[in-house]
Amino acid sequence: MSGVGDEPFIAAVKPLVDAMGGEMIPPDEAGPDDVVLAWEGRDAVAVRLPQLADSLDHILAAMERRKGVPLADLDRRAKQEVVRILEARGAFSVRHGVETVASALGVSRFTVYNYLNREKGA
């Protein structure tokens, strides 16, 4: 995937690609929706970005790792904070986003909508 001299660059961007749920591929295998990154004047690596629905799953998993417990085990205030963060990140613009978040939080869709409405009214 890399040529001589690309390894430090690829190592530097890998944590970012991993954090957003992307995949690093050889630049010559890049499709029209992939992002090709250049290093020292030549294509070093391509990044295949996840689909939005996959990104939401990745974001939820990362939030769960950060909290150290399943999101469903959080108290109501913490779940409201999760919904606030997810809304800021566009999670509810994804098809079935509310259902996905509700499932991860162990609450109903109605509860997620209540959290969202409470935030807008605050």
Q: What is the reported pLDDT for 51?
A: 74
Domain residue limits, the chain: 5-48, 53-120
Task: Assess whether pLDDT exceeds 60 at residue 2.
Answer: no
Q: What is the reported pLDDT for 53?
A: 63
Average model confidence (pLDDT) for the chain?
A: 88
| Between 74 and 119, the higher pLDDT residue | 74
d(CA 96, CA 83): 14
Task: Assess whether pLDDT exceeds 70 at residue 3.
Answer: no
Please report, in angstroms and rounded to a whole number, the separation of the first and last CA atoms in the chain.
Answer: 50
Q: What is the reported pLDDT for 1?
A: 55
How many CA atoms lie within 13 Å of 36's alpha carbon, on the beta-carbon side?
A: 14
Task: Assess whether pLDDT exceeds 80 at residue 91.
Answer: yes
d(CA 32, CA 83): 33
Chain centroid to CA 56: 5
Q: What is the reported pLDDT for 43?
A: 94
In the chain, % of residues over pLDDT 90: 63
Burial class (CB in 10 A: 0-12, 13-18, 19+), 66: exposed
DSSP letter at 107? S
Q: What is the reported pLDDT for 13?
A: 94
pLDDT tens, position by position, 9-55: 999 999 998 877 789 999 999 999 899 999 999 999 999 987 766 77
Task: Assess whether pLDDT exceeds 70 at residue 101.
Answer: yes
pTM for the full model?
A: 0.60
| Phi, psi for 66 (deg, rounded to 5) | -65, -40
